[in-house]
Chain A
Amino acid sequence: MSWAALLALAAAAYALKAAGPVFAGQRDLRPGLSDVLALLTLPLLAALIVVQTFDGGERLVVDARLPALAVAALLVWRRAPFLVIVLAAASTAALLRAA
């Protein structure tokens, strides 16, 4: 990969990240708009969870990640600390794969 291609990717990636904070930042947002902005990340995070759990390269796969997520969901519901949740998920997946 050439340095030019790498820098072009960096510039595009940064432009995407910065568009909101740099150009729309520091304005008094209408309450309605603020509500919509607060909702925006929810479908994205939920989609991210689905992709990171089931994605097997453009097809859905069920593997150790799903039981790990189920354990995490149980702990989230029981209001366990964040560290406990991520460690339990990692151990569940690691143990299932080692078995």
Chain B
Amino acid sequence: MTLERAEWSAIHRDAAAIGLATGAYAVSFGVLAVAAGLTPAQACAMSLLVFTGASQFAVVGVLGAGGGALAALAPALLLAARNGVYGLALVPILQGRRARRALEAQLVIDESTAMARAQDDPRAAHHAFLATGLSVFVCWNLGTLAGALLGDDLGDPRALGLDAVFPAAFLALLAPQLRRHGAPVAALAGALIAGALIPLVPAGVPIIVALLGVLPAIAVVRRARVRDSP
């Protein structure tokens, strides 16, 4: 079965748009990383090897404020922890050989997971994961290089409204998944948990604890299954 050509080009277009928006943030990351005392080589190595934006910004934020490397690692790991959940959620979609899965795992981030999960067909989901992951990977690393070498910020991404791109994009990618049984309950519970926790706990923790939102959804699914069974 081949995917419709229109569906493929829609995936590529959306993946490119997400990549460009993250690329603009990567320029800021490169600038902040060098200002916080990293060498340009370290800034680029971090984008290549760590490749998870929120964690990287947390590291240079702590270092820039005068904190040590150990103090920087804790928030970075809290923010990276959600990628572990994404990895689990992507198990049904990433079904190549083990070596290939090991390579593709580096692309497990918010954007690639959301794009993959927004597709109905498993092949489209895998393609959306790869297209988005690679698009963000290329733009993120080129942006970091530019920011680290030029040193001069190309402007505040917020002035262009680019910070509003991400919640809008994730909302657009969340919406088609809400048709699934129990999904609206899971999403609403996750949103409420995160909103309640933002003022109370360190960055990264609200999103991880929001995972508990899946529990009422599982209860809803279970009850429906009991009701539907003869």
Q: CA A50 – CA B211 in complex, angstroms?
A: 14
Instruction: State the Cβ distance, B33 to closest chain A Cβ, in Å.
Output: 9
B48 to chain A, nearest CB (A): 8
**Complexed CA–CA distance, A59 and B189 (Å):** 19
Q: List A17-76 residues whose CB lies under 8 Å from chain B.
A: 17-22, 24-27, 29, 34-55, 58-60, 64-65, 68-69, 71-73, 76
Contact status of A3 and B167, CB under 8 A, knowing A43-B193, A89-B161: no
Which of the residues A40, A47, A68 comes within 8 Å of B161, measured between beta carbons? A68
The answer to whether the Cβ of B214 comes within 8 Å of any Cβ in the partner chain is yes
Q: Mark A70-89, 1 if CB is under 8 A from B, else 0.
A: 01110010000111011011
In the complex where A69-B164, A86-B17 touch, is A3 in contact with B104 (Cβ < 8 A)?
no
Residue of A nearest to B175 (CB): A76
CB distance from A42 to the nearest CB of B (A): 4
Q: Are B195 and A13 closer than 8 Å at their CB atoms?
A: no
B86 pairs with A49, CB closer than 8 A: no
- Cβ distance B57 to chain A, nearest Cβ, rounded Å: 12
> With A and B bound together, what is the CA distance between A71 and B167 in angstroms?
11
A72 cross-chain contacts in B, Cβ below 8 A: 164, 167-168, 171-172
CB-based contact A41/B168 at 8 Å? no
Per-position binary interface string of chain B over residues 184-200, scored 1 when its CB falls under 8 Å from any chain A CB and 0 otherwise: 00111111011100110
For B181, give the chain A residue with the smallest CB separation: A35
Q: Which of B94, B105, B160 contacts A90 (CB 8 A)?
A: B160
Check B210 for interface membership: any CB of A closer than 8 A.
yes
Residue from B158, B170, B188 within 8 A of A48 (CB atoms): B170
Closest beta carbon of chain B to A38's beta carbon, Å: 6
A42 & B172 in contact (Cβ 8 Å cutoff): no
Q: Does A12 contact B (CB under 8 A)?
A: yes
Can you name 7 A-B pairs with beta carbons within 8 Å?
A: A14-B105, A17-B106, A40-B85, A43-B217, A46-B186, A46-B213, A85-B172
Interface pairs A-B: 10 shortest CB-CB: A43-B190, A43-B213, A20-B87, A93-B161, A89-B168, A47-B210, A47-B194, A94-B161, A72-B168, A68-B164
